[in-house]
Amino acid sequence: MPDAPVVSLSSGRVRGVRDGAVDRFLGVPYAAPPFGSRRHLPPQPPEPWDGERDATAFGATAPQSPYPPALRPYLPTVEIGGLDILTVNVWTPADRPDDGALPVLVFVHGGALTRGSAALPIYDGTTFARHGIVFVSVQYRLGQEGFAVLDDAPLNLGILDQEAALRWVRREIASFGGDPTRVTAMGQSAGANTLAALVAAPQAEELFDQVILQSGPLRAQPRKKAGRMSREIARRLRIPLSREGFGSETPSALVAAQTEISAQATPLSSGPSVAVTVGEDTVPVDPLGVLLAGAGNGIPVVIGSTREEYRLWFVPGGTLDRIRWMTVTLARLASGVPRRIVAAHRRRNPAARPGEVLGEIVGDMLVRGPLTRWADSRRAGDAAPTWVYEFRWKSPIDGLGACHALELGFVFDALDSPDAVALGGSSAPDALARAMHGAWVSFVVDGDPGWEAWSSRHPVQAFDADGGHIDYAPRADELAGLPTR
C-alpha cells in the first residue's frame, strides 16, 4: 500500500493507513486477549509478532448487548467479533517530529461499564491529530468480564486494563511522535468514573500528567452492593460465584443474563448494576474520600457535567412523565435531601415538573455535587489548577435537552457523525463545537483550557450557543447541604 505508515513497537511492527495529514493505527494490542486461561485475571502483555501487523481496522469489541429499545435511537452500539479486545487506536500527524515531542490525549469511553466501544464514529481522533496531538482511544473489559465481583478473582479488571493501556502509552507513544511526559487522560461517563479511581490511586502520576473528567461519578460502591449483579447472575445460571463458575459460561451467556436482570430495573430503582467496587489494591477505598483528602492534587484537572444529565435516562421510556410530587417527597426522604433543596429548585424554575426537579437533584447528587466539593478541596495548599465547566446547549431532539453525552459531538468537533446527530440533530451550533473542542485542545497542548480556574468565586465555564461564558457559583443554593451518595 503506497504511503502506508509503519511504526516499530516493543511487540512488533504495525502498519496503519495515511488519510491526508493524519496517520491512523487501529486495533493495536496493549495486552493479550483476556479469555481462556487468562479470563477474569489481570491483563497480561501481548504476544510479540513477526513482520508487520495490519493496523487498519478496529479490534474486537468487549462482549456486550445493544442498549435497551428506548435508548437505541440515541445511543448506537458497535459490535466487532473476536478475542483481541484489549487494544488501542492511535491517530497522529503524518508530518511528526522524530523526537516524540507531541502532546498525547488518551480517551476512555463510557457506557455504564456494560456497553460502549472506541470504534464509535464520534470518537474518531482525526480532529485532535490535526491540532498536533497524538490521540489514543482505549478498549477495555466490560460487564462481567471486567467488573464481576467473584469470590476468587481480582476486582475492577476493567480499570486494570486501563492502567495497562496507560502504561503502554508511556512506553510506546514516542514511536508515534508522542511525548510520554505530556499525557492527558480523558474519560466520559463510566470512563470518567474509572479514571477518577485512577486519579485517587497512589500510582496516578505514573499513568498521566493531567486529566479531563466528563460527567462521571467520583465514587465506587461497597463490595456487597456492587456484587449484587454477579450474585444474581450466579443464582440464575446456577453456577458458583467464582472464576471457575463464571468461566464455565460463554461471555455471551453472561451478557444475556446481565441484560435480563438490568431490563427489570427503572431509572429510579436501585436494582443490581455493574459498578466500580471498593476493595483490593486497585480501588482500596471510595475514591471521593481520598480525592477530598488530597489524592491527585498534583494533577491538573478539567471536570464538568451537562446541565440536564438526567434527561437521557428519564425522557426515553416516559419516566419523566410518570413522576409525581409524592415520588419526589419519598425519594427526598429516602436520600436525606433537605426540603429546602427542593424548594430552591422550584424557586428557580416555578414551572418545573416533578420529574424535572427530581432529575436535577439526582444529577446533582451523582455528579455535580461531588465534583464541586472536590474542586473546592483543591483550592488549598499547592494543588494543581482545577477548571470546571457545564454544558448547557439543549438538543431539539425528543425533549432530551442538555442531556448526558450530548457534549461529546462538541468535544470531538464531530457534529456530523451519526452518533452526534442522533442526540443533537443536524443543526447543532458549529461555533460551540469549535469553542469546546478548542478549549480541550488548549488544555492538552498548553495545560490551560482558556477560562478562569476554580477559586473561592466558583467560576464555571458555561458552554451554550454563545460559545461559552463564565457563571460564578451557579445554583449554589441547590447544592448547599446536598448529600452525595
Domain at 438, CATH number:
3.40.50.1820
58 and 23 belong to one structural domain:
yes
pLDDT of amino acid 485: 62
pLDDT of amino acid 1: 47
The two beta strands, 210-214 and 301-306, are parallel
Q: Is 92 exposed, middle or buried (0-12, 13-18, 19+ CB in 10 A)?
A: buried
DSSP-assigned states of every residue in 6-66: EEEETTEEEE-EEETTEEEEEEEESS----GGGTTS---PPPP-SSEEE-SS--PPPS--P
Residue 257 belongs to some domain of the structure: no
288 and 344 belong to one structural domain:
no
**Is the pLDDT assigned to residue 2 strictly greater than 60?**
no
Cell numbers at 80, concatenated: 466487532
124 and 45 belong to one structural domain:
yes
2 and 63 belong to one structural domain:
yes
Q: Note whether 361 and 341 are within 8 A (CB).
A: yes
Question: Which one of the listed residues 404, 417, 437, 478 is annotated catalytic?
Answer: 404
286 and 168 belong to one structural domain:
yes
96 and 213 belong to one structural domain:
yes
pLDDT of amino acid 265: 81
C-alpha 74, offset from chain centre:
17
Question: Residue 200: pLDDT band by 50, 70, 90 thresholds?
Answer: very high
Q: Note whether 196 and 289 are within 8 A (CB).
A: no
Sheet hosting strand 469-472, strand order edge to edge: 17-19, 22-29, 87-93, 134-138, 102-108, 178-188, 210-214, 301-306, 386-391, 459-463, 469-472
Query: Could you read off the pLDDT of 145-193 as tens digits, one per residue?
Result: 999 999 999 999 999 999 999 999 999 999 999 999 999 999 999 999 9
444 and 399 belong to one structural domain:
yes
17 and 77 belong to one structural domain:
yes
Annotation marks residue 417 as catalytic: no
User: Rounded to an integer, what distance in angstroms lies between the CA atom of residue 282 and that of residue 298?
Assistant: 20
pLDDT of amino acid 168: 98
Annotation marks residue 189 as catalytic: yes
Q: Distance between terminal CA atoms of the chain?
A: 54
354 and 292 belong to one structural domain:
no
**Is the pLDDT assigned to residue 422 strictly greater than 70?**
yes
Query: Could you read off the pLDDT of 391-405 as tens digits, one per residue?
Result: 999 999 999 999 999
Lowest-confidence segment of 45-49, 336-340, 378-382 by average pLDDT: 378-382
Residue 372 belongs to some domain of the structure: yes
Closest CA to 462 of 441, 482, 436: 436
Last residue in a domain, options 241, 268, 299: 299
pLDDT of amino acid 322: 94
Residue 209 belongs to some domain of the structure: yes
Query: Could you read off the pLDDT of 110-127 as tens digits, one per residue?
Result: 999 999 999 999 999 999
pLDDT of amino acid 268: 72
**Is the pLDDT assigned to residue 277 strictly greater than 80?**
yes
User: Rounded to an integer, what distance in angstroms lies between the CA atom of residue 355 and that of residue 333?
Assistant: 16
User: Rounded to an integer, what distance in angstroms lies between the CA atom of residue 388 and that of residue 23?
Assistant: 33
DSSP code at position 361: H
pLDDT of amino acid 356: 95
Q: How many residues does the chain have?
A: 485
Residue 31 belongs to some domain of the structure: yes
77 and 14 belong to one structural domain:
yes
- Crossing angle of helices 228-237 and 251-263, in 10° steps, is 110
Residue type present at position 458? H
Give the number of domains in the chain.
2
Query: Could you read off the pLDDT of 438-448 as tens digits, one per residue?
Result: 999 999 999 99
Range(s) of the domain holding residue 92: 1-220+280-299
Query: In the chain, what percentage of residues exceed pLDDT 70?
Result: 99
pLDDT mean over 82-108? 94
Question: Which one of the listed residues 172, 308, 309, 390 is annotated catalytic?
Answer: 309
pLDDT mean over 9-23? 97
Locus of grid cell 431509572? 267
**Is the pLDDT assigned to residue 287 strictly greater than 70?**
yes
**Is the pLDDT assigned to residue 484 strictly greater than 60?**
yes
What does the mean pLDDT of the chain come to? 95
Q: Note whether 227 and 149 are within 8 A (CB).
A: yes
290 and 312 belong to one structural domain:
no
Annotation marks residue 377 as catalytic: no
Question: Which one of the listed residues 65, 137, 189, 215 is annotated catalytic?
Answer: 189
Closest CA to 188 of 313, 306, 307: 306
Q: Is 431 exposed, middle or buried (0-12, 13-18, 19+ CB in 10 A)?
A: exposed
Residue 317 belongs to some domain of the structure: yes
User: Rounded to an integer, what distance in angstroms lies between the CA atom of residue 464 and that of residue 248?
Assistant: 50
Residue 171 belongs to some domain of the structure: yes
Closest CA to 453 of 237, 301, 227: 301
Residue 18 belongs to some domain of the structure: yes
The two beta strands, 102-108 and 134-138, are parallel
Which residues are 353's β-sheet partners? Answer: none
pLDDT of amino acid 267: 74
Three-state SS string over 181-244 comes to: EEEEEEEECHHHHHHHHHHCCCCHHHHCCEEEEECCCCCCECHHHHCHHHHHHHHHHCCCCCHH
DSSP code at position 123: G
pLDDT of amino acid 112: 96
400 and 369 belong to one structural domain:
yes
**Is the pLDDT assigned to residue 434 strictly greater than 50?**
yes
Residue 253 belongs to some domain of the structure: no
Locus of grid cell 488530597? 294
